[in-house]
Amino acid sequence: MHTGFFKAGTQYGDWDGTAAADEYGANHTFEELFEATGKVDKDKELLIAFEIYAGERGFFTLTGYFHDKSDSTDLGWVPSLNQDFSKDTGKIQVRQVDLQITLEEFFMHFKRFNVVMVRNGLDIIGREYEASETEEQE
């Protein structure tokens, strides 16, 4: 068992940022990647986070973090889990499932995937900017 944080990090941390993604939806869900392993019980647990790690020489790992579904679903799965997490501020207990996949297999589950990286040390994540048009090089 190991501990960690739901925040990206690398050995040197030269760049830091944010990411957002849109799934394709009901007919092609991201969770299918994990369910296909037979290691996930979609009736009892929920994918609450994932991590992608690309290393040297094409090494690519996808890690899913699963949590038991809330006993109370009056608000829906996500709001109910948020309510549970706010009551217990200790470490969130998750089950980790690792997959070795290709980038193509990963990205085929998303309509859109956006990553913004900022030079480490610059405190501008989330700041508004205005960009000028790039002039063509001659």
Q: Model confidence over 36-86: pLDDT tens digits?
A: 999 999 889 999 999 999 887 777 999 999 999 887 767 777 888 888 888
Phi-psi region for residue 79, left (φ > 0), alpha (ψ -120 to 50) or beta?
alpha
Mean pLDDT in residue range 17-42: 87
CA 81, 84, 88, 90: dihedral to nearest 10 degrees?
-10
Q: What DSSP assignment string belongs to 75-106?
A: T-HHHHHHHHHHH--SPPP-EEEEEE--HHHH
Find the range with the poorest average confidence among 4-8, 92-96, 117-121: 4-8
The phi, psi pair for 115, rounded to 5°, reads: -125, 130
- The pTM of the full predicted model, rounded to 2 decimals, is 0.83
Closest listed residue to residue 7, CA positions, set 49, 67, 60, 56: 49
